[in-house]
């Protein structure tokens, strides 16, 4: 079975349990914290390691998260360890967040701009996207700065892209000049 299928199934189980026990937001917080922890290379490698015994991994997880995570989250981690599925935990956590966003009708939208955008600008973009038929009811913006855009911004979500950058407009203009026979002949002489 593929890693994605395994991750999706376990994530769905945790999501269903969290909804059933009315702990969805609490479990989401735990999973977000876990995702952040997996960004630490040593922790990530420990989870993936076939050499480290599951008892040692459980001791590490308890040291890090016991008392901080809900008992449902801790029980879920224990089940995964008992089934030797701990190597899939980073992927399960990401799958859980994707499924959580689907249940809560949240679209994740990436906004790349040439400079840091103001809160007012980001809020205006969020409102426009929430009114759009292409996004869910709620929009979560993920911002990134890329000075090579020169100006403007690029919006990406659901395999769609809206490019309103100066770089893109200059590329279109250059293509128009190349494709225009009359202008290309002027530059050729």
The pLDDT assigned to 176 comes to 83
Q: Residue 91, Cβ neighbours under 10 Å: how many?
A: 17
87 forms bridges with which residues in the sheet?
none
List of the chain residues with pLDDT < 50: none
Which class would CATH give 3-102? mainly alpha
The pLDDT assigned to 159 comes to 87
The tens digit of pLDDT for each residue in 134-171 reads 999 999 999 999 999 999 899 999 889 999 999 988 88
* Side-chain half-sphere CA neighbours of 61 within 13 A: 27
Q: Which of the 8 DSSP states describes residue 141?
A: E
Residue with tokens 């009114």: 131
Residue with tokens 């967040």: 97
Cα 77 to Cα 61, 80, 92, 184: the distances in Å are: 8, 5, 11, 64
And the tokens for 165? 């950058």
Q: Where are the domains of the chain?
A: 3-102, 106-181
Instruction: Measure the CA–CA gap between 110 and 141, rounded to whole angstroms.
Output: 6
And the tokens for 51? 């050499």
The pLDDT assigned to 184 comes to 55
The pLDDT assigned to 174 comes to 83
The pLDDT assigned to 182 comes to 66
Q: What is the DSSP string of 101-112?
A: HHHTTEEEEEEE
The pLDDT assigned to 185 comes to 61
């Amino acid at each position: 079975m593929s890693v994605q299928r395994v991750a999706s199934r376990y994530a769905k189980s945790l999501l269903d349990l969290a909804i059933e026990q009315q702990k969805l937001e609490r479990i989401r917080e735990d999973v977000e914290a876990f995702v952040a922890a997996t960004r630490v290379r040593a922790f990530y490698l420990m989870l993936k390691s076939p050499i480290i015994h599951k008892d040692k991994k459980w001791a590490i997880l308890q040291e890090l998260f016991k008392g901080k995570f809900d008992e449902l989250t801790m029980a879920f981690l224990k089940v995964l360890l008992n089934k030797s599925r701990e190597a899939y935990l980073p992927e399960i956590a990401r799958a859980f967040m994707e499924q959580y966003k689907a249940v809560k009708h949240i679209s994740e939208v990436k906004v790349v701009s040439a400079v840091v955008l103001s809160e007012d600008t980001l809020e205006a973009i969020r409102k426009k996207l929430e009114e759009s038929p292409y996004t869910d009811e709620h929009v979560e913006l993920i911002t990134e700065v890329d000075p090579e855009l020169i100006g403007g911004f690029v919006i990406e979500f659901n395999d769609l892209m809206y490019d309103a950058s100066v770089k893109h407009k200059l590329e279109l203009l250059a293509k128009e000049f190349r494709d225009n026979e009359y202008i290309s002949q002027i530059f050729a002489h």
